[in-house]
Amino acid sequence: MLKAVIMDFDGLIIDTEVVWYGIYKDWFKKNKDYQLSVQEFLICVGSQEEELFIELEKKQKISVDRTQFKKDVTQGFIEQSNQLPPKEGVVQFIQAVKCEGLKLALATSATRKKPVSHLSRLGLMEYFDIVVTAEDVKRIKPFPDLFQEAARQLEISPPEALVVEDSENGLKAGINANMKVLVVPNEVTKASDFCGYYKWVESLSTVSISEIMNEFKEDESNVIG
């Protein structure tokens, strides 16, 4: 039985991944004279930039001053993202989840300030029962820790949760947590090699949470039978 929905934030609720990719690409072009590809950027989507930096140092011999990078890009991201609207279908999906009596959690590899600030700005914070961030676990996606911690706080078992993600790292984390994953890619993550998902849709506007609840019940009946 489906008891809870656990949603990612960046690239799923608002389209921050597109903003981030533009900022990263501009920074590497300006500071390293290097054309950062989407595939390279996807290394850190849903996870952390350190994964990308390690890969570039190893394969391209590009060294990045982490402190300087953070200083250079943070303000630009704030300016470009603080007016972003929720993605298509997000508000309706969240409202439908709560109307069905399900618990709702946010589980993000980001630190707490950013998602909470945006959810509050959009009037969506009140819908979430809990928010789990990188500050609450030892390992972030693709490790399962964020989703496992969300399940623990919601007092549910992994099979009773539906994870909603936009990235390959998020998909892997959900699978590693033994949860079904609904993939909703954005313009950046659609280039990812998604594999093993429960469902894949272009937009949350096409998703019926009641139909998914029925599918969970059917799956449970088949297991018992």
pLDDT band of 75, cuts 50, 70, 90: confident
Rounded CA-CA distance 196/176 in Å is 11
pLDDT band of 78, cuts 50, 70, 90: confident
Q: Is the pLDDT of residue 128 over 90?
A: yes
- The alpha helices in the chain, defined as continuous H runs, are 16-32, 38-41, 49-59, 66-81, 90-99, 113-121, 145-154, 168-176, 209-224
Measure Cα distances from 87 to 191, 203, 212 in Å. 18, 8, 20
pLDDT band of 219, cuts 50, 70, 90: confident
- Arithmetic mean of pLDDT, 77-90: 92
CB neighbours of residue 155 within 10 Å: 10
26 token code pair: 């501009």
- Arithmetic mean of pLDDT, 56-67: 95
Q: Is the pLDDT of residue 222 over 90?
A: no
Name the amino acid, one letter, at 164.
V
Dihedral class, residue 79 (left if φ above 0, else alpha if ψ from -120 to 50, else beta): alpha
- Arithmetic mean of pLDDT, 193-215: 97
Q: Is the pLDDT of residue 224 over 60?
A: no
Sign of CA dihedral 86, 115, 10, 81: positive
Rounded CA-CA distance 215/140 in Å is 29
Q: Is the pLDDT of residue 48 over 90?
A: no
